[in-house]
Each structure stands twice: as C-alpha cells, then as structure tokens.
C-alpha cells in the first residue's frame, strides 16, 4: 500500500483516505499501540466502507508504520495531537470513530475535544489509561526502579525483534489524559466490543467506560472467546454490524 502524507511542521503522517457519499457519515479508524494502518481490522473496514459508499480514513501515528518519528519519543498527548491534525485536515462532516485498544483511548479523547463532529464511537478492546493501569501498575518494584533510572525498559520475555519499548516519558505524560476515575463527558452513542478471553485489556474495562460516560446510548458486546485483537471473521462481522446503523 502506497500512502499519502500529511505534512506537519515536525513530521509527516502516513494515511490512506477513501472518498464516499457526502450524505453519509465517514469512518475514521484509530489503531493500537505499536500497530499500523495495514492491520486486519483497518483493511477490513476499508473494503466494507468502499462497498457501503462512505468515506474512510486510516493513518499511522508518529513513530508508527510509515509515518515519520521515533516510537520511543511518542506519548499519548503526541499521538492525540496527530489524531486531531488528521481529523481536522482530512475529514469533513460527521464521523464515526472506531478505536482499537490504545486507539480507543485516543478516540474517547477525540470525542471529548470535537463532540460536534462525532456521530458515534465504537471501541474495540478500548484501553484508556493503559499506560498507568496495564503497564506501570503491573511492573515489579525492580522494573519500576530500572524504568525510572534508565528511562526505558523492554519486555525480556518477548522475542528480540518484538520487544516494544516502554518509556518513563510515556507513563508520566499519560497521567495527564486519564479517564477511568472521572466522569467522561461524551454524549454520542457508544458501542464497545470486548473479548472475554482478552489477556491484555480486562473485560471490566468496557464496564468501567460505560459507567463513566455521560451518554445513555451505550452498549457493550462481550465476545466469549474473543481475544484482544478481535480480528476473526465473526469478530469482523460483528464490528461491521455494529457500525452499519450509524452510516446513514
């Protein structure tokens, strides 16, 4: 896939945009931590949106995929800035936001900052606050000390070419964007897809989001055998069926 690039002052962001009917809301896909826009869910949505005739946008955050930047310098705030730039400069009219894992956190933050443009939000194993609760709080005392002293640690259990860095900067900056211990002032419809066999994001996360958002039009779809990726054919079918009511 050859992407286009959004040129910003300090980096280029790779994206792929599909046009659609001006009478239908568009779809924006926000990927996960250390993922890119060529993944199964992003590609599936590209095909289905083309068939449906609605616009579709996917992109890589700085330090991800084909975008410029050093992944280790990334933070939630920086990736939110990328999301806002892409959203404002590359979309028009109402949009349905689909956020996967970290993209679910960024999607909720986007809904808070641009409520007038959001038709609905769909979270796939949405992971707000993951830097604090699913990373920092799960570290051993020795790991925390090493992270504080050296600024970065790696998962030694992962294969050498799959060791994603965790930086102290990511953890500390992420604390400015935490959502799960406060009221989330989002009023648009919210749909959350969550696997009960997800070993990365606990199933209770979807329930906590639902309890905290202001929107009364909020539903959770639990998938009994669903993992974190939710990329199996049945999962993708459910994702599309969840989106369809908001595309008219």
The catalytic residue positions are: 101, 198, 228
Residue 16 CA to residue 38 CA, distance in Å, equals 10
Beta strand 152-153 pairing with 95-100? unpaired
| Lookup: tokens for 136 | 């920092």
User: What number of other Cβ atoms are within 10 A of residue 150's Cβ?
Assistant: 10
Q: Is the torsion defined by CA of 205, 47, 34, 81 positive or negative?
A: negative
């Amino acid at each position: 896939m050859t992407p286009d690039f959004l040129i910003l002052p300090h980096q280029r962001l790779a994206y792929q945009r599909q046009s659609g009917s001006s009478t239908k809301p568009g779809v924006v896909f926000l990927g996960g931590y250390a993922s890119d826009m060529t993944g199964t869910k992003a590609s599936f949505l590209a095909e289905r949106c083309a068939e449906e005739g609605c616009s579709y946008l996917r992109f890589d955050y700085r330090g991800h995929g084909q975008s410029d930047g050093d992944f280790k310098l990334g933070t939630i705030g920086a990736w939110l800035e990328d999301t806002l730039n892409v959203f404002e400069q590359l979309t028009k009219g109402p949009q349905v936001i689909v956020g996967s894992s970290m993209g679910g956190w960024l999607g909720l933050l986007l809904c808070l900052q641009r409520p007038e443009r959001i038709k609905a939000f769909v979270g796939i194993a949405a992971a707000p606050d993951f830097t604090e609760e699913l990373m920092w709080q799960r570290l051993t005392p020795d790991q925390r000390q090493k992270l504080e002293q050296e600024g970065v640690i790696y998962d030694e259990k992962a294969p050498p070419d799959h060791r994603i860095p965790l930086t102290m900067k990511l953890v500390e900056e992420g604390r400015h964007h935490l959502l799960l211990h406060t009221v989330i002032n989002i009023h648009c419809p919210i749909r959350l897809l969550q696997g009960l066999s997800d070993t990365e994001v606990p199933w209770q996360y979807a329930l906590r989001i639902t309890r905290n958002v202001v929107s009364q039009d909020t539903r959770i779809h639990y998938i009994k055998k669903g993992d974190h990726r939710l990329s199996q054919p049945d999962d993708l079918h459910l994702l599309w069926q969840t989106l369809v009511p908001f595309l008219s």
